[in-house]
Amino acid sequence: MNSSLELLYTSLTLSVNTFGWVLLGLLLLRFGWVNVARIELLSRFSFRWILPLLLLSGAAQLDWAEPRSSRYIVIGAIATLANLLLSWGYARLQQLPREQTGVFVQAAFRSNLAIIGVALCATAYGNSGVTVAALAIAAWTALYNVFAVWVLGATMSDQRLSLKRIAIDIGKNPLILGIVAGLLISLPAGPPAPFIGQLGGLISTFYLPLILISIGATMNLAQLRGSGAVAWKAVGWRLILAPTLSVGLAYACGVRDIELGVLFLLMASPAAAASFIMVVAYRGDGTLAANVLMLTTLLSAITVPVGFFLLSALSVI
């Protein structure tokens, strides 16, 4: 009984310490206590500098003498492709309009792993969680970008981007650059400079909450009134089906403990903010994309701790 209560407390703490900041940002916006323009500036600064530094810190602490299994990264990539193909097939079966199909499919396979995902990993496992998550975030972020261009180009627009342009955009991504820099730091024999680990701890403690507040402070709940069946189906796929498929596949392949926990937290994260930006750029259904983004962000405060509790109770993470 005590063990179950401890697991429940840990899971609730995971939600409060991550999504509580998002709720605070939402309340600050509701009462008019934040400047939206400054919040957007903070978000851009975070994406370009703070999050890359956090991921650099995690990657720099990778121990090449005892490397973590990369199996869960490959399995996560396979699960991402599976979610893409299955959701696309479902959208075709439901005869969704082209402008909604792209939104639905992108929501199914693309999570907010670089912001909320890494925050969840830091809360659940500390610097070890960030270290394990860093390589997965680099690999899956690149994959997300390629798949998003493919899906949106095929479903929403006659526009086509060359593979060269996609590669350039991925190569310029600050998050990937931060991870690559961290890996380079970790290469020499011996542990990295102590301040690298301290940097990650400081960002997790003091700056991640500001980033999460900025997410809540940019959410417009008034738009949720127009949410329809497609939005709710996309939410169900993103928060329930996608992580279930990913964890099930990883478990069947022997992934356990912190790797399985990190995979779950990254895959169970809400829809990525970049998905909305790309939908608008391709002249898709921006309202649907915004609704999915907000609904998944709000409801993941429930689904993530429930999933984490169940996996912990089963002693697989």
Tell me the pTM. 0.90
Q: Which residues contact 316 (CB under 8 A, 6 or more apart)?
A: 251, 256, 257, 260
Residue 43 to residue 36: CA distance in whole angstroms: 10
300 pLDDT tier (thresholds 50, 70, 90): very high
Number of domains the chain is built from: 1
What does the pLDDT read at residue 1? 40
Task: Give 190's DSSP letter.
Answer: S
244 pLDDT tier (thresholds 50, 70, 90): very high
Q: Is the Cβ–Cβ distance between 137 and 266 less than 8 Å?
A: yes
Q: Is the Cβ–Cβ distance between 199 and 57 less than 8 Å?
A: yes
What does the pLDDT read at residue 294? 92
Residue written as tokens 């011996």? Answer: 190
242 pLDDT tier (thresholds 50, 70, 90): very high
* CATH classification at residue 77: 1.20.1530
Burial 119-141 (b: 16+ CB within 10 A, else e): bbbbbbbebbbbbbbbbbbbbbb
- Neighbouring-strand partners of residue 222: none
Phi, psi (rounded to 5 degrees) for 271: -60, 145
193 pLDDT tier (thresholds 50, 70, 90): low
> Is it the case that residue 91 has pLDDT exceeding 90?
yes
Average pLDDT over residues 123-132: 90
Q: Which residue range is the domain that position 131 belongs to?
A: 2-313
Residue 102 to residue 97: CA distance in whole angstroms: 9
Model pLDDT for residues 129-177, shown as the tens digit of each residue: 998 998 899 889 888 988 988 888 788 755 555 667 667 777 788 878 8
